[in-house]
Amino acid sequence: MVSVTHTPVNDLDYSAAEYGHVDGVPSPYTLSIPDGPLTDEQAMRLALDAARCGIRGANPLVGAVITGTDGRVLHVGWHRGAGTPHAEADALAQARAAGTDLRGASMYVSLEPCNHTGRTGPCSHAIVAAGVRRVRYAYPDTTSAAGGAAHLRSNGVDAQLMEGFSADSYLLNERWFIAAAERRPFITAKSASTLDGFIAAADGTSKWITGPAARIDGHLVRHRADAVMIGTRTALTDDPSLDARRSDGSRFTKQPLRVVMGRREIPESYRIRGLAAEGPYDPDRFLQVFTHDPSELLSTLYDRGVRHLMIEGGPGMVGLFAGEDLVDEMIWYRAPLLLGHGKSAVYRLSTGTLANAPRLHLDDLGMFPAVRVLGADTATHLVPVPRGDYQNPGARRVLERCTECYAPEPREDG
């Protein structure tokens, strides 16, 4: 077995190496690769495994495997998040660095290679230039980046879809496909609660429910997001800065847009509008969307180029978006505390009966397990159960808006 060790590629490399300082997180992540020649099916399975080394967010999880003419694995690449190289480019870069001759090689990619110039060049062109002879992909690209397979074929590369893997590839990225098709940001909701599901005590005290390791982890999620959103009540009550900081308290260079949703105006003195650390007031760092309608908020953000939105609360926002089937992943920090009474971690969500409750799956990405121990707390990473499959993408499961939950808010009883 060969072992591939993950090495960070740049400041935006959301790798296990970045998360490694958090207690309980294995670092660096290693992917085991069989030593002997692989069949097409084994190589594609490995590409799908490699895809899971990435991280959810504004880009899909994609893996790429390059094998030599003897079928043995030469390089394995994967996409590490928005702003980092695509999986194919990652594998090709490894080949260049190692001086591997790729003439006659095969590449297995879990998604059709792209054909457009975004933050990275077209992968289909790079594959042709490298001399790769065969490409197998698990899922056709239907976005604006489509056309990669056609480009490969027109340049003499034998490129074919392995349809037997399309269902797996679709499921891996279902929520990303949905967000892209709905032309809205991919949405990550975060919550930090007691074991019995409260985010504040009955007297309003809430600092701190979770410990430093969980809070540091939350800052890493902020750092990944293009925008971080809260409701007006959280903004007015807590006056949070919402910036993304490292474990030593210093600010990351890349900061998310700070967003407030709701009708009450946030006064200029509030930190979310402008931080002393940022120097002169910069309106581009803050946005208030004066609406109660998630669709309006999302289209405003999408039009501003936001592709990954993190919802930081409060519980009304988490419930509102979950009830509209708009939460694409959830990160739940849970502290070993019992409150009995207090502010519930989710409200403005009316399910009525168990069958209506939005169900989630543990999302065990390769980079870290779905349930992690962070100091005294746990972090659980979840995605909604699939809406459908690649041939029949299901419809949105929208619950009736919970108007009677508006007052009193939040719920005070257990």
Ligand X SMILES: NC(=O)c1ccc[n+]([C@@H]2O[C@H](COP(=O)([O-])OP(=O)(O)OC[C@H]3O[C@@H](n4cnc5c(N)ncnc54)[C@H](OP(=O)(O)O)[C@@H]3O)[C@@H](O)[C@H]2O)c1
Task: Using CB under 6 A, pick the residue from 76, 149, 189, 200 that binds ligand X.
Answer: 200
Q: Is 377 in the site for ligand X (CB under 6 A)?
A: no
Whether the link from the prior residue into 283 is cis, omega within 30° of 0, is no
Task: Using CB under 6 A, pick the residue from 94, 191, 255, 344 that binds ligand X.
Answer: 191
Please state, as a whole number, how many other Cβ atoms lie within 10 Å of the Cβ of residue 70. Answer: 8
Among 18, 88, 112, 174, which one carries the catalytic annotation? 88
Q: Tell me which residue of 78, 5, 46, 55 sits closest to 370, measured CA to CA.
A: 55
Whether the link from the prior residue into 78 is cis, omega within 30° of 0, is no
By beta-carbon proximity to ligand X, the closer residue of 25 and 200 is 200
| Burial readout 279-304 (b: 16 or more C-beta within 10 A, e: otherwise) | eeeeeebbbbbeeeebeebbbebbee
Whether residue 289 contacts residue 263, with contact meaning beta carbons closer than 8 Å, is answered with no
Q: Is 222 in the site for ligand X (CB under 6 A)?
A: no
Least separation in angstroms between CB 179 and ligand X: 20
- In angstroms, the Cα distances linking 99 to 47, 87, 105, 350 are 22, 18, 14, 59
Q: Pick the piece of the chain touching ligand X (CB under 6 A) from 72-80, 96-104, 261-269, 324-332.
A: 261-269
Task: Give residue 197's region: left, alpha or beta (phi > 0; psi -120 to 50).
Answer: left
Q: Pick the piece of the chain touching ligand X (CB under 6 A) from 163-171, 273-281, 357-365, 406-414.
A: 406-414
Q: What is the DSSP letter of 10?
A: S
Q: Pick the piece of the chain touching ligand X (CB under 6 A) from 70-78, 103-111, 383-391, 405-413.
A: 405-413
What is the total count of residues that contact ligand X (CB under 6 A)? 29
- Considering only residues 65 to 104 of the shown chain, the ones binding ligand X according to CB under 6 A are none
H/E stretch holding 80 reads none
By beta-carbon proximity to ligand X, the closer residue of 9 and 201 is 201
Q: How many helices (H) and strands (E) does the chain have?
A: 11, 18
By beta-carbon proximity to ligand X, the closer residue of 113 and 342 is 342
By beta-carbon proximity to ligand X, the closer residue of 174 and 238 is 238
Q: Is 262 in the site for ligand X (CB under 6 A)?
A: yes
Using CB positions, name the residue nearest to ligand X.
Answer: 314
Binding mask 295-314 for ligand X (x = CB under 6 A): -----------------xxx
H/E stretch holding 108 reads strand 106-109
Task: Using CB under 6 A, pick the residue from 94, 169, 194, 234 that binds ligand X.
Answer: 234
Q: Is 233 in the site for ligand X (CB under 6 A)?
A: yes
Task: Using CB under 6 A, pick the residue from 54, 122, 316, 342 that binds ligand X.
Answer: 316
By beta-carbon proximity to ligand X, the closer residue of 316 and 358 is 316
Least separation in angstroms between CB 310 and ligand X: 11
Q: Pick the piece of the chain touching ligand X (CB under 6 A) from 42-50, 87-95, 255-263, 386-394.
A: 255-263
User: What is the distance between the alpha carbons of residues 319 and 400, in angstroms, rounded to a whole number?
Assistant: 12
Residue 88 appears among annotated catalytic residues: yes
Residue-by-residue DSSP string for 250-316 = PBPSS-PEEEEESSSPPPTTSGGG--GGG-S--GGGEEEE--S-HHHHHHHHHHTT--EEEEEE-HH
Q: Reduced to 3 states, what is the DSSP secondary structure of residue 175?
A: helix
Query: What sign for the dihedral angle of Cα 336, 413, 323, 180?
Result: negative
| The two structure tokens encoding residue 308 | 């990954």
User: What is the distance between the alpha carbons of residues 84 and 81, in angstroms, rounded to a whole number?
Assistant: 6
By beta-carbon proximity to ligand X, the closer residue of 122 and 358 is 358
Binding mask 336-355 for ligand X (x = CB under 6 A): -------x------------
Q: Is 264 in the site for ligand X (CB under 6 A)?
A: yes
Give me the active site residues, please.
Answer: 88
Residues found near ligand X in the complex (CB under 6 A): 191-192, 199-200, 206, 209, 230-234, 237-238, 261-264, 292, 312-317, 320, 343, 406, 409-410
